[in-house]
DNA sequence: TAGATTGTTAATCGATTAACAATC
DNA sequence: TAGATTGTTAATCGATTAACAATC
């Protein structure tokens, strides 16, 4: 069995491999080599080979990997074939967009419901998903065994919501709020931080212009 | 003047420092030390000190940094005080949510308009922002000098949209589509890839349960 | 002064890359 | 067989951490 413990870097590249293998744009033979994936994605081929080795052990010299099987192995490794239940807190614009996004099941995420502190939102539905009042949260989480919580509240409320989620049994938090969340050991916070992305974009533009102007 | 060329890792941490300094939760003295920031965010203090040194040179032994000035320096370094124009392509659910998001100006991003290939969307407004047909894109970008393009179309269309953006003068692409984009040298693609985040969440849960079950 | 804090220089760690042996 | 491709072992690179000197 391949090693289940991979580096964060590897884990971040695996979805790109899967995406490439699924895309109709790529080469369409029965087999696919790490080398060709590397070339298509602009990566070093040894990196790809090492990454694939942690997901599959079916690579054959000269032949490569069986495309269909590698896809299945990646999907399984990434948990796409084993859906996890999640709940979302904060049914504002972003929260509703996520509730309505139909692509998550494909990635093994099943959002059961949204929660919001605003009582006027309670009872509404977004894309067939109920928005419930906050006091229903602990019960639902514990009863169903929800382990993933999605935070889409304003930054100031994020920590309180996070604490509540963890109290209710959540083990992994997907945080869209611009806040640093304090959590106990063993709980994962995955920040989807737009401010970080924007900083990288802005820095790229500044560097480009300063280079052009300077040299 | 502090060094303008910082590592990607540093750049990713700077917004967290700024966020912490702005937050009312933190200590509220006139001065703030790298050590205290490090402690609050769970980072090594030398990392924070090195990061801050690339943004400011006003740190004083025993005293630390003047909070207000450090905030200004971070904002300036991150480009929050120097807004960049952007356009968005793909006015579906996610696209509309981003168009409507009122927090971007705070981060120096100003979305001028949305574009969509669907003619039935053209002419609509979302939060005061026009949705325009695709054929208006090149002209607007060039006329205004837009350098940032946001892609929120389905994966299959992302590369074509990306090419069009670059043709129209865009230098940095913020890609929300699940697709690997091929771009010429000098163009930045910043992927906001939900699949990657979900992979990290899913992996955490798997590891937690396998550890619990195994040992 | 004494001690907290800064900034720097050296050591450690981990990831990437390069070189190579194994194999279909 | 020959050559493409895999997987592994060693070398390189960069980031983090540790140790230390400087200073208000």
pLDDT tens string B200-210 = 999 999 888 87
pLDDT in tens, chain A (215 residues): 445 689 999 999 999 999 999 987 666 788 999 999 999 999 999 999 999 999 998 999 999 999 999 999 999 999 999 999 999 999 998 899 899 988 899 999 999 999 999 999 999 999 999 999 999 999 999 999 999 999 999 999 999 999 999 999 999 999 999 899 999 989 999 999 899 999 999 999 988 887 665 43
CA-to-CA separations, A173 to A73, A78, B94, B138, in angstroms, rounded: 26, 17, 21, 40
Query: For chain A, first and last CA: distance in Å?
Result: 53
Measured in degrees and rounded to the nearest 5, phi and psi for residue B129 equal -110, 130
CB atoms within 10 A of CB A167: 12
B61 interfaces chain A, CB cutoff of 8 Å: no
Residue of B nearest to A156 (CA): B23
CA distance linking residue A23 with residue B26, whole number of Å: 47
Q: What is the count of residue pairs from A and B with beta carbons less than 8 Å apart? A: 175
Round to whole Å and give the CA distance between A130 and A91.
10
Task: Find residues 123-162 of chain A whose CB sits inside 8 Å of chain B.
Answer: 147-148, 155-156, 159
CB neighbours (10 Å) of residue A116? Answer: 22
B110 interfacial to chain A (CB closer than 8 Å): no
- The answer to whether the Cβ–Cβ distance between B205 and A16 falls below 8 Å is no
Nucleotide with the nearest C1' to B46 CA: D17
């Amino acid at each position: 069995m391949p090693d289940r413990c991979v580096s964060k870097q590897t884990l971040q590249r695996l979805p790109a491999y899967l995406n490439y293998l699924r895309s109709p744009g790529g080469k369409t033979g029965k087999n696919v080599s790490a080398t060709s994936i590397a070339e298509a994605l602009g990566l070093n081929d040894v990196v790809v080979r090492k990454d694939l080795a942690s997901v599959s052990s079916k690579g054959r010299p000269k032949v490569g990997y069986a495309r269909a099987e590698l896809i299945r192995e990646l999907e399984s490794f990434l948990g796409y074939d084993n859906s996890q239940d999640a709940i979302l807190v904060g049914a504002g614009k972003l929260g509703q967009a996520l509730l309505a996004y139909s692509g998550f099941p494909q990635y093994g995420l099943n959002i059961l419901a949204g929660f919001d502190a605003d009582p006027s939102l309670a009872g509404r539905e977004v894309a067939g998903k109920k928005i419930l009042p906050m006091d229903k949260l602990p019960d639902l989480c514990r009863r169903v065994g929800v382990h993933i919580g999605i935070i889409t509240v304003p930054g100031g409320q994020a920590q309180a919501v996070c604490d509540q989620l963890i109290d209710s049994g959540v083990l992994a938090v997907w945080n869209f709020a611009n806040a640093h969340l304090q959590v106990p050991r063993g709980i994962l916070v995955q920040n989807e931080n737009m401010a970080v992305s924007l900083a990288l974009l802005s820095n790229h533009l500044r560097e480009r212009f300063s280079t052009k102007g300077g040299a």
